[in-house]
Amino acid sequence: MSHSDTNTLDTEARERLAEQAAYWCMRVDDGDLTADEQTSFQRWINSSPEHKAEYEAMLEISALGDQLPPDFAPSAASSADLSRVSPLPRALKRNKPFRFAQAAVAAGFIVLAGGIFGWNQGYVPNAYTRYSTDNELRVADLPDGSQVEINRNSVISFANFRDRRSVTLSRGEAFFTVEHDAEHPFIVHAGDRDMIVTGTRFNVWSYNGEVRVTLQEGAVRVQPQTNPESGSVNLEPGMQLVYTDDNLRSRVSPVDVEEALSWVDGKLVLDDLSLREALPLINRYLEEPVVLASPEVAELRVGGIYNTANIEQLVRTLPRILPVRISQRGNDQLVISLR
């Protein structure tokens, strides 16, 4: 696994950084951060690009562990091979949550070029690639011949297994043109569901616990990760599935695909949306999300075509086109209220 963002750090500093990232990964995953811990975490992750990169790499290790079967255990020979892998961060050993322990074993196999046992059993990939963007668009050719267009502020990873091709969308948005291979389905993990295809063109958007899957051509089956037979949805071209991690909202509806994919050309199209509907689309591009002061503000409507490279300009122009004012709360957060 490549950590190109941290190559300038010496070995001791890299180990310290890995320990810190592992600690925060597990604390955030526990879901019981105190207010002081949340402040400390935000201060830590925002203090350096290396911190953010290492934290995201740890999240990907965690996601890889989620793909291992519950009874996964390497053979004795493979376990012996792992002795040649650099020691895991002490934070992983000390807390030993099972999901991270599985992921660490998988990561060890990747370092050893996949490991014959893990590859043959379909447990671990023989190739793993991470792609990320900041304020730019990117087109990447995946190792299997598929292509992915990646929106701004997005992170995805690709892992090639013996029996499947696996992509994790950690955050942001991506449009996939999938190389047809019926024997090796292409699976995208986003939120708590999987998108399964063999060859198609579709878009996945993820922000703040909500995922939107838009199909341009071909077919996509979307199913829960924990219970695939329950709640499976088959999409047809021109349809969009919206779901949330908490399963409180899930709907399928027709969509203007060209409008949904306007980000590929660097555009955000708002077609007479309420601010409540538009805000997730806007906030995904901002470092600090904008909040609405009242339900009345949320029902105001906005439209237009905007440059995704400068969504801050859209926020600044809202008082010119709507009866609102923008104020600042604390150091960074902007609040939209009626004037």
Q: For the chain, what are the domain ranges?
A: 1-124, 125-261, 266-338
Maximum average pLDDT range among 18-32, 67-81, 90-104: 18-32
CA gyration radius for the chain?
21
Largest CA distance in the chain: 70
Maximum average pLDDT range among 69-83, 88-102, 235-249: 235-249
Question: Measuring CA to CA, which residue among 272, 311, 306, 331 is closest to residue 135?
Answer: 311
What is the DSSP annotation of 197-235?
ESS-EEEEEEETTEEEEEEEES-EEEEESS-TTSS-EEE
Question: Measuring CA to CA, which residue among 299, 212, 220 is closest to residue 249?
Answer: 212
Judged against a pLDDT cut of 50, whether residue 91 lies above it is answered with no
- pLDDT at residue 61 in the model: 66
- The strands making up 291-292's β-sheet, listed across from edge to edge, are 291-292, 333-338, 324-329
| CATH T-level topology, domain 125-261 | Jelly Rolls (2.60.120)
Q: With respect to CATH, is domain 266-338 assigned 3.55.50.30?
A: yes
Question: Measuring CA to CA, which residue among 32, 18, 278, 59 is closest to residue 155?
Answer: 59
Q: What is the mean pLDDT of residues 158-170?
A: 88
What residues pair up with 127 in beta bridges, in sequence order? Answer: 160
- pLDDT at residue 228 in the model: 72
Distance CA 165, CA 57 (A): 19
